[in-house]
Every structure is written in C-alpha cells, then in structure tokens.
Amino acid sequence: MRTCIATREDYPQADLVRIFAGPTLDDPSGPLESAYVEASNKHRDTGRGAWVLPTADAIRVLVQEPKRVARALKLPSIDTSALLERAQAMADARMLDFLSLSSRSGRLASGADAATMAVRAGDAAALLVASDASAGSVADIKGARDIPVYILPLDREALGRRIGKGDRAVIALRRGGPATDLLKWLQRRVALSA
C-alpha cells in the first residue's frame, strides 16, 4: 500500500504511478527542477519518489499545489506545470506498448469479421477504435452487446501498422495475457483525459 500525495488516501501500489524529480530538458545535468511520472513501480536511480492516483483530478491538485510535490520529494521547489501532459503521454506510450504485445500474443481480433465473431462469442473485453473510424463500423461490430469502446489516438493506417496489419478501423481485444494490462492502461488514459 502507498499513499497518494494528492488524495492522501492509501491504495495498492499497482493502482498508482510514481512521481520523481528530474532536470530540465535545457540542462540535463542541472538541478532537479521538474516533476515527471513513470509507469514502473520500481525505484529509479534519480532519487526519491512519491505516488499519485493516475487521474486528471489528482494530478491537477499537484499542478496547482507544487509545494505538496516538493515536500514529498524533499526539495525546496519543483515545477509541476507539465505534470498532467507528461502523465497523459506516459499512459499513451504504455497503452501502445501493450497494444503491440497483445497483437503478438494473439489477443487481438482484427478485421470486421474477426472482431464481430469475438464479440458475438463473448470473448471480447473491449473494442479498440481508430480515431477516423465511422460510428456505423463500431455499431455493426458491437451490435446490442454491452462492451467498452476505446477510441485510440491512431488513425486506421497507424493502427494497422502498429499491429503489423493493413488498415484497421475496429479491433476486438480478447481477454487474458497482456490484454489485461492494455485494458488497465486504456482505463487510465481515459481517467487522465477527464
């Protein structure tokens, strides 16, 4: 269990992301002035870390109250202005990594026919939709089933390329393996965008 420095409540460590201090991009060898987030639950070489719930509301508290982060990291001051954007970028990167792993492990049903069959069989945990997909494509595959739908920051071409296929508008995510982690990062991505 770890305490979120924004909400001041205890959560399992796996439900949180770590905040650490790092030098500015202008001076990589300089003092620790900017706040960063990381997905890993492992200790970093860069020093002391703190924990935060990966939601937009929790991170906005830290952006508005940088002294809270500085106190947790035992620093005189820290810049938290870009913390939410960095958290969103980290969630996007982790989501894309697990999308690739899910593809390699056979956890994606891509193509309209394969995705429709996975949904109808009850094997799909979620639908992953390209940013330029039509609502009709999603409705045809989803049918009357109650299944979560996540719009990805990739167009059809980029989504297909990411999973080693041609253009893909909708993909069904099958349960198990790295798809479990992909689903977690999709949910965090939504929470960080709220």
Q: Is the per-residue pLDDT at 26 higher than 70?
A: no
* CATH 3.30.1230.10-classified regions of the chain: 2-81
Flag whether pLDDT at 137 surpasses 90.
no
Amino acid at 141: I
Q: Look at 127 and 25; give whichever has higher pLDDT.
A: 127
Predicted pLDDT at 78: 85
Confidence check: pLDDT of 173 > 80: yes
Sign, CA dihedral 12-14-123-126, equals positive
pLDDT over 80 at 17, yes or no:
yes
When pLDDT is averaged across residues 149-178 and rounded to a whole number, the result is 91
pLDDT in tens, 43-68: 454 567 889 999 999 999 999 999 99
Question: What six digits make up the tokens of 58?
Answer: 């929790």
Percent of the chain at pLDDT > 90 equals 47
What CATH fold (topology level) applies to the domain 91-193?
Answer: 60s Ribosomal Protein L30; Chain: A; (3.30.1330)
For range 103-132, the mean pLDDT: 90
CATH superfamily of 2-81: YlxR-like (3.30.1230.10)
- What residue ranges of the chain are covered by domains with CATH 3.30.1330.30? 91-193
CB 33 within 8 A of CB 79: yes
